[in-house]
Amino acid sequence: MLLAYNIGNDSIQLGFFEGDELCGTVSVSNDTNRTSDEYACIFKGLLDFNGLAPSAFEGAIGSSVVPTMTETVRSALEKLLGFRPHVLGVGTKTGLNILTDDPTQLGSDLVAAAVGALSKYTPPLILIDLGTAATFSVLDKNGAFMGCVIAPGVTLSAEALSNGTSLLPHFARTEPKKCIGTNTMESMQSGCIYGSVAMLDGMITRIEGEIGENAVVIASGKDAPDIVPLCAHNIKSDDTLLLLGLKEIYKKNMRKRK
């Protein structure tokens, strides 16, 4: 089996592969104050809960957008699994043609998700991740990574609105009954939810205009279920791309543990 994991801004996701099949995922909130021993205990509990033994895994690969946690989590998994996981970074063979000005600046999560998407879908592709940040990765008809768009995520925007103003309260990020709010709460909900919907639809239209053709649009992330159904564009939902990409990259780089 292969363990693939991603350290995001809010959580750590682990995926379990048996061959090419993703047979389970778990996640835990990240905390920079936790030690590698604490994380090793947490991961051991998650494996036990899913009926998996550490000895079942022959390899592990991860990506991280939180540098301060990269080694902590890697060390925790090394203690648990008995071997050192591979971390996606500079020098890792991905098979992805990256056309950005400096490919080394591209986040490992975006690289992995692009590789995963290309293993399932036919380009051109627009990959949207609605997490702490809202990212749009663009792959041309040949599967090359053209570039991306980075905007504040739904939660981040809502928190900035409440925290940066004296009179506006914190509010539930649920779909309002109508666009034009008649009270403060509804007005903020409309701006947050429908504003994000308009941003997605507008960015998709602009991106397709630049590449000169329609693209397959795929969304993932914690806020995708609240936003995607309200969009005018046809957007597929798929939360497996990043883990699938890590699995594909592992196959390109690593041999089975002896």
Q: Residues near 128 by Cβ (< 8 Å), separated by ≥ 6?
A: 134, 135, 136, 137, 200, 217, 218, 219, 220, 221, 224, 235
Neighbours of 229 (CB within 10 A): 11
Q: CA 81, 87, 88, 94 torsion: positive or negative?
A: negative
pLDDT of amino acid 234: 97
What is the C-alpha to C-alpha distance for residues 222 and 243, in angstroms, rounded to an integer? 15
pLDDT of amino acid 214: 97
What is the C-alpha to C-alpha distance for residues 199 and 202, in angstroms, rounded to an integer? 5
- Average pLDDT value for the chain: 91
Question: What global pTM score does this model have?
Answer: 0.89
2-91+245-253 and 121-237 share one CATH topology? Answer: yes
Residue 43 pLDDT exceeds 70: yes
Interval 115-136: pLDDT, tens: 999 999 999 999 999 988 899 9
Residue 35 pLDDT exceeds 50: yes
Residue 198 pLDDT exceeds 80: yes
Question: Which comes out higher in pLDDT, residue 92 or 176?
Answer: 92
- Find tokens 């540098």 and name the residue: 67
Domain boundaries defined on the chain: 2-91+245-253, 121-237
Interval 74-98: pLDDT, tens: 999 999 999 999 999 988 999 999 9
Angle between helix axes 154-163 and 184-211 (nearest 10 degrees) is 140
**In the numeric block, which tokens belong to residue 152?**
């504040």
Task: Find the catalytic residue in 10, 20, 31, 109.
Answer: 109
Which of 66-75, 167-176, 215-224, 244-253 has the least mean pLDDT?
167-176
- Whether residue 140 lies in the annotated active site: no
pLDDT of amino acid 88: 96
Angle 63-13-81 from CA coordinates, rounded to 5°: 75
pLDDT of amino acid 171: 58
Fold of domain 2-91+245-253: Nucleotidyltransferase; domain 5 (3.30.420)
Q: Return the CATH superfamily for domain 121-237.
A: ATPase, nucleotide binding domain (3.30.420.40)
